Amino acid sequence: MNAKRMTFSFELFPPKTEQGIARMHETVTLLNERHPAYFSVTYGAGGSTRNNTFATVDWIHEQGIEVAPHLSCVGSTREETGEILHRYVNQGIHRLVALRGDLPSGAGAGAIGELQYANELVSLIRERFGNHFHIEVAAYPEMHPQAPNFERDIDYFKLKVEAGANAAITQYFYNADAYAAFVEACSKRGIDIPIVPGIMPITNFSNLVRFSDACGAEIPRWLRKRLEAYGDDIDSIRKLGVEVVTRLCQQLLDMGAPGLHFYTMNQAGPTLAIWDALALDRK
């Protein structure tokens, strides 16, 4: 398989501690040897990680590596959002992942802000900055947990594409059929942007269950049972994780996925184990 034309990317979160920063630097250095299209850096909704996101983006950019800051709009004003965008334009950053974000529960309706949905953020970026940015948006093969139904979720996804999104990254999932059905449904609606699967390596069972419950990603029963049975045996969890996620990636690439986006959780090892097992031809 020649993966030369595909888009492979790695997602990081902005570390807060000296130790976390050192680990992020090491992770970027190791993963960059695989020549990804870009690294993306998450942004806490309501601006909660603002300065740490800037610091992480600045460092990656200074290394001469392509970086895509995430930007969420919920809980922010148009002016605040515009200021952040200006900062990125002045820095020479050309990629963004544009999101609504989730406010912490109990934040209250007053904290929702001036842009309620990601399509409004994409429109604002295009209105103010034309085609300066390559914009990625989020997509949900297993449906966003707050969407009224699958079809409406695709209607709303289409609004982001019509507003000017160039590509999408999906929420993670462990069932390749969910991705195939989603891509087919999008294609029937005339959505023709690349939809890159988001890949979550499996390293820790309880964290995976917690994340998945929060974001609406399904862990298939057979996988949950097998991981659960390993208890505290981290090595066996990781080994099964690499096997299962590598197979998933291979299935996705075989069905024509335009690339892969890895949720690295700032650890190079689990992503590299999958990457190397895939033996992608990137020459």
- Judged by CB under 6 A, the residue of 76, 100, 115, 193 near ligand FAD is 100
d(CA 199, CA 9): 10
| Nearer CB in complex with ligand FAD: 198/259 | 198
| DSSP 8-state symbol, 6 | S
153 is an interface residue for ligand FAD by CB under 6 A: yes
d(CA 52, CA 16): 7
What is the closest distance, in whole angstroms, from the C-beta atom of residue 30 to ligand FAD in the complex?
Answer: 22
45 is an interface residue for ligand FAD by CB under 6 A: yes
- Judged by CB under 6 A, the residue of 43, 174, 179, 205 near ligand FAD is 43
Enumerate residues 122-151 that contact ligand FAD by CB under 6 A.
Answer: 138, 144, 146-147
Q: What is the dihedral of CA 266, 142, 69, 115, to 10 degrees?
A: -140
- Judged by CB under 6 A, the residue of 198, 201, 241, 270 near ligand FAD is 198
What is the closest distance, in whole angstroms, from the C-beta atom of residue 43 to ligand FAD in the complex?
Answer: 5
Query: Would you call 11 a catalytic residue per the annotation?
Result: yes
What is the closest distance, in whole angstroms, from the C-beta atom of residue 44 to ligand FAD in the complex?
Answer: 6
103 is an interface residue for ligand FAD by CB under 6 A: no
| Nearer CB in complex with ligand FAD: 157/205 | 157
| Site size toward ligand FAD, by CB under 6 A | 25
- Judged by CB under 6 A, the residue of 31, 84, 99, 253 near ligand FAD is 99
159 is an interface residue for ligand FAD by CB under 6 A: yes
Question: What residue has token string 């001469």?
Answer: 64
Instruction: Mark the segment that binds ligand FAD (CB under 6 A) among 97-105, 124-132, 179-187, 240-248.
Output: 97-105
User: Quick one: which of 139, 45, 53, 143 has its CA closest to 101?
Assistant: 45
DSSP string, 97-164: EEE---PPTT--GGGS-S--SHHHHHHHHHHHHTTSSEEEEEE-TT--TT-SSHHHHHHHHHHHHHHT
Dihedrals phi, psi of 280, to nearest 5 degrees: -70, 135
| Tokens, residue 246 | 């590598």
Dihedrals phi, psi of 67, to nearest 5 degrees: -130, 145
70 is an interface residue for ligand FAD by CB under 6 A: yes
What is the closest distance, in whole angstroms, from the C-beta atom of residue 283 to ligand FAD in the complex?
Answer: 28
| Nearer CB in complex with ligand FAD: 193/237 | 193
User: Quick one: which of 41, 63, 37 has its CA closest to 194?
Assistant: 37
113 is an interface residue for ligand FAD by CB under 6 A: no
* Cβ-proximal residues to 212 (8 Å cutoff; 6+ apart), any chain: 218, 219
Which residues are identified as catalytic? Answer: 11
